[in-house]
Structure formats: C-alpha cells, structure tokens
Amino acid sequence: MLLRCSEIIGTNIRAVDGDIGDIRDLYFDDSQWATRYFVADTGNCLTSRLVLLSPAALQHLDRGNGVAHFGLTRQQIEESPDIDRDQPVSRQHELAVVGYYNWPAYWSAPVPSSPTVRRINEGDPHLRSARTVMGYYLRASDGDLGHVDDFLVEDEAWHLGYLIVDTRNWWPGKKVAVATELVRTVDWAHSKVGVEPTREEVRNSPEYDASQPLTPDFEQRLAAYYGHHALRVY
C-alpha cells in the first residue's frame, strides 16, 4: 500500500511492552530512495531524545489508530544510541546502531541497478531527512515547476516511490506525483530537486488529490503515463 510520508510522521510508537514516543521523520538514502530508519522521539514534554529504528523491526502499522508496532522492548529502544537533531547521521553512528540491535547492515547487501542521480554540493554520504526534502524546490528539465510537498511511500519495502509536487506557482491548486526514479539531480546545498520530464509533461500527468484514497488504478495510470513499472499498491 502507498502511504503519504506526512501520514507516517507523528505516528505513536508501541513497543512489545508499551508505548514509547512517536515517529518524527524518515531517513532515506538518496541512491535507492529507500527508507533506512524511522526517527523516533522517545523523550518527554520537556526533553527530546531521538533514536533510529529500522523498518525491519516494524511489525505492523495500524493506520486507523495511528500506532506503529515494533518488535522491541521499551528498554531496548530507550538504551539505544541517540542522534543529534542538528547533525547528519554518519556511517560511524549507523554502525553503532546496527551493532547495538545486531541488525544487518543494509549497505553490505547487493542493491538493484537504478538511474544515476547526480548530487550537487553533496559533501558526504549521509542519510537524508524526508521532512527536510518536503519543501525543496523542484525543477523540470526546462524550468522551475513548484516544490516537493510530500512523498508516497510503499509500506513493505518502505521505498519512497513518488514525490508529491505542489505546482501552485504555475497551476494554482494542482498537485501531481512524479516517480523518484525520474529524479536526475539533487542539490542539497540549495534545496533543489531536478527531474527528467518537462514542465508540460508534469502538468499533464494524473492529478493527485490528497483528499481521496490512493488506489491501484491511480498508480497504474501514473506508471502508464511516465512509462515505468508501478509499485505494489495493494
């Protein structure tokens, strides 16, 4: 099933022995657009403590009640390495997290081939914050287009399959979905994402309506329009 990233953020976290905080962000790697961690806030009303939780530890996402069930104890989560909100997550910190939980390192597994994304002013290989990218300017192959409003995330592999683009500066009130496999440049320093289609191609794509449930038909129409394979919707 495809979910909006903004729908996942704010979800309560339930360990096997009780509730412990909520999801504040998704960290993804920009080569595969795959969610590598949920960022969990396990603090209280006075202090914030952020830790990383792997999608592999997620047992069930109860969308109706806004609860994410993890196969971990409260103590395991509370004693896991925390992260600095104002600093990027380094590979060294990831090693500490996967070592603590004895999780497999995702970067050591073979990955499928994908189009090369040119990273401008990247500087380091750190993970990316979905919340940060939601707000980046988006540029089509022939000019500015709008900004990234949200992501559509597949809830089995936790792949960020689509950018939801708000085109209000060009076509008031219209939002469209563009597959992340069509991203060709990411300028982290200037908060810009460049995609392969032209402005007109994006403009004529199936309109995304956040008030309507996501359906297999919508994604099939997107896949047919852009000429790529659809994700598994249901």
Are 151 and 163 contacting, i.e. CB atoms less than 8 angstroms apart?
yes
Spans in the chain with pLDDT lower than 50: 113-114, 121-124, 232-234
Residue whose C-alpha is closest to residue 159's, from 228, 90, 65: 228
pLDDT of residue 67: 98
Instruction: For 54-71, write each residue's pLDDT tens digit.
Output: 999 999 999 999 999 999
pLDDT of residue 155: 87
> Which residue is it, tokens 């032209």?
198
pLDDT of residue 121: 47
CATH code: domain 120-226 is 3.90.50.10
Fold of 2-108: SH3 type barrels. (2.30.30)
pLDDT of residue 234: 35
Domain ranges of the chain: 2-108, 120-226
pLDDT of residue 233: 41
What's the Cα-to-Cα distance from 155 to each of 100, 128, 152, 158, 207, rounded to whole Å? 25, 19, 10, 5, 22
pLDDT of residue 201: 87
DSSP state of 56: G
Q: Give the span between the Cα atoms of 56 and 37, in whole angstroms.
A: 9
pTM to 2 decimal places: 0.87
Q: Give the span between the Cα atoms of 162 and 218, in whole angstroms.
A: 12
